[in-house]
Amino acid sequence: MSNEVTGWGGNRFAQLQSEPIFVVGAPRSGTTWVSEILGAHPQVARVFESWLFTEHDGLGKLFGRAHYPPGYSGLGRLLPRESLVVCVRQFAEQVMSHALTPAHRFLVEKSPSHLFAIPLIREVFPEARFVHVLRDGRDVCVSVLAAASSWMPAWRDSFGASVEAAAQMWHDAVRWAQREQREVGNGRFLEVRYEWLRQEPDNWLRQLFDFCHIPYDENLLADIQEQTRFENKYRPRETGFRRRAQIGGWRERWGVREKQQFHQVAGELLLELGYENDAYWWQRER
């Protein structure tokens, strides 16, 4: 195969100094921003939404019930699952190598729905690290509904159809992340709250880069913070991919009806996470 097709003519994963990092989370939680922070480091290659391991759009379907456990048909009749894992790893490394230049020593992949593919990713890359971005579900819902009504109309038929649907999506994603965090362990799973990163960037940027084993000095960290500061880099638009990145923006949008709709679906989780301490928060005016 020519270099024109392969990009670098081979697998460049050997040049990485650390394990691949996967940034995951519910849609509209800030996963793009976190991946941009990591990708602002000169030695980090950033892969944006490859969906490589998802069951619907990626390789996850190869491990589905049609193939394993082996039956009358499917890949399981040709090779054991362990052999498929080896093949998939080789393919994934080859594909993601397209993002690597000779200067890169770390790789960060960001696909929100890879959250649900963590078990498969761990099977293929046991050494992988995961950064889960958590955001107040109410702000997530507002952002999802705004996207569904503008640049992402496909969401209108799924989790962008209503407050309840968006709340259910957020609830299910966070619960899944909690289970995966218990399985993976804190050594390879870091939860970063969007609000904390916005309010305490100095502290959380350090934690983020330390967790990923990516070296930095104070000058580099300051440069990255400046490069990725919302106020400096982005020109928000209500109908665009970048909105206002507000904390608590739901207060300006929702009345009692919308708040009650969210609470009925995900209020218990909201309280559990400490985003509210009053079970009757939804009855307040603001």
Which residues, 6 or more positions from 153, have their beta carbon under 8 angstroms from its beta carbon? Answer: none
**Which pLDDT does position 243 carry in this prediction?**
53
List, for residues 138-160, the tens digit of each pLDDT value: 999 999 999 999 988 999 999 99
Q: What percent of the chain has pLDDT over 70?
A: 92
Hey, what amino acid is at 35? S
Strand order in the sheet with 21-24: 44-48, 106-110, 21-24, 129-134, 189-193
- Mean pLDDT score, 104-117: 98
Distance separating the N- and C-terminal Cα atoms of the chain? 61
Residue 10 pLDDT > 60, yes or no? yes
CA distance readout (Å), 237 to 226, 245, 254:
21, 10, 19
Going by C-alpha positions, the residue among 95, 93, 97, 79 that lies closest to residue 124 is 93
Report the amino acid identity of residue 262: F
Asked whether the predicted pLDDT for residue 9 surpasses 70, the reply is no
Verdict on whether the full-model pTM lies above 0.75: yes
Please give the residue that has the higher pLDDT: either 1 or 19. Answer: 19
**Nearest Cα to 25, choosing from 154, 275, 193, 265?**
193
**CATH T-level topology, domain 3-283:** Rossmann fold (3.40.50)
Q: Which residues contact 154 (CB under 8 A, 6 or more apart)?
A: none
Reported as a single tens digit per residue, the pLDDT across 236-266 is 555 544 556 789 999 999 999 999 999 999 9
DSSP H helices, the chain, are 3-6, 31-39, 81-96, 118-124, 137-148, 163-184, 194-199, 201-211, 218-227, 230-233, 250-253, 256-272
